Amino acid sequence: PAPLLEVRDLRVSFDTPHGLVKAVGGVSWTLSPGETLGIIGESGSGKSVGLEAIMGLIKSPPGHVAGQVLFEGEDVLTMKESRRRQLRGEKIAMIFQDAMSALNPALTVGTQIAEVYRLRRRCSQTEAERKAVELMDRVKIPSAKSRVRCYPHEFSGGMCQRVMIATALALNPLILIADEPTTALDVTVQRQIMTLLADLQREDGMALVLITHDLGLVAETVDRAMVMYAGRVVESAPVSALFDAPSHPYTRGLIRSMPRIDGASGALHAIGGTPPAAGRMPRGCAFHPRCTHRIDRCRAERPALRPVAPRHTAACHLVEEMTHD
């Protein structure tokens, strides 16, 4: 099928007192209807900034966005703001980490859930409230009818995230983008929210983009994943291949440092060092200061993404040399 969303060579940089700083450097990916994609990275890897750019949320200046973001063939970056706003409401919906503070404490959850729906569909208050109850049922908020007039402070963190998801679903989007949707929640609730997202995705057939630092969530929820490091994609593969045969040393490090099912901590295998600060990008492969496999070439030359298997690409000189031998 033709892609729903196609990101081509997306670049984002910002003016700073120290000059122009790159946050995203040439990222490309596509999303087909109904597909699930995970974008994995530590904080500062460019995963959220890339998303903001895609949604046209980066102010210029100080931000500079280049490349193309095609939604059903139409470039989001160059379209009129009014059209972009329409797209954001109707076709592409987003949920974020901090649901509690994203909600307005002075309005009932029902009012907030149905707000966009009421404005776009120009319906009555009664109709809007009926819709809110329906959406609360869909995201499995118990006793929706009696709780539609509750205020956010009467809800737990997990229930607030369900309210945000209900809000996002109000206009039946084709794409749901979830940026660290469970990071602020405890482990049991995280699992419930991810199960809900996966169920809704299957029921609706909408495409899902899950942005997270948590590989466990990716493994359970999406079909394909992209690993980002220092503003670039370093590996991209179907999730099964990514976990069974990770190619990039950074991906392998992330997988080794995952907490294990037997309860043993993965902390022993944590990758040494820290990601580079924006504006202090190492030459060559950005991962080389932390990489235990580096060769001379890594300091001088940046590796390009290359195929290592069908639908599986990685950006590493070592991988490239091995696959060519």
Please report, as ranges, the residues that interact with ligand SF4 according to CB under 6 A. Answer: 248-249, 285, 287-288, 291, 293-294, 298, 303, 316-318
CB of 46 to ligand SF4, least distance (A): 17
Kindly tell me which of 64 and 302 has the beta carbon lying closer to ligand SF4. 302
Structure tokens at 159: 């229930």
Characterize the bridge pairing of strands 306-309 and 92-95. Answer: unpaired
The 10 Å Cβ neighbour count of residue 288 is 20
| Size of the residue set binding Mg ion (CB under 5 A) | 1
- Distance from C-alpha of 297 to C-alpha of 302, rounded to nearest angstrom: 9
Assess 108 for contact with Mg ion (CB under 5 A).
Answer: no
Residue among 323, 294, 292 nearest 309 (CA): 323
CB of 183 to Mg ion, least distance (A): 9
Assess 212 for contact with Mg ion (CB under 5 A).
Answer: no
CB of 46 to Mg ion, least distance (A): 9
CB of 45 to Mg ion, least distance (A): 9
Structure tokens at 324: 């060519």
Dihedral through CA 179, CA 232, CA 66, CA 74, nearest 10?
A: -60
Kindly tell me which of 38 and 303 has the beta carbon lying closer to Mg ion. 38
Kindly tell me which of 203 and 296 has the beta carbon lying closer to ligand SF4. 296
**Where in 39-58 is the site for Mg ion (CB under 5 A)?**
48
Long-range contacts, stretch 191-195, CB < 8 angstroms, 24+ apart: 192/158, 193/158, 193/161, 193/162, 193/165, 194/220, 194/221
Could you say which of Mg ion, ligand SF4, none residue 88 binds, taking C-beta under 5 to 8 angstroms by partner kind? none
Residues in touch with Mg ion (CB under 5 A)? 48
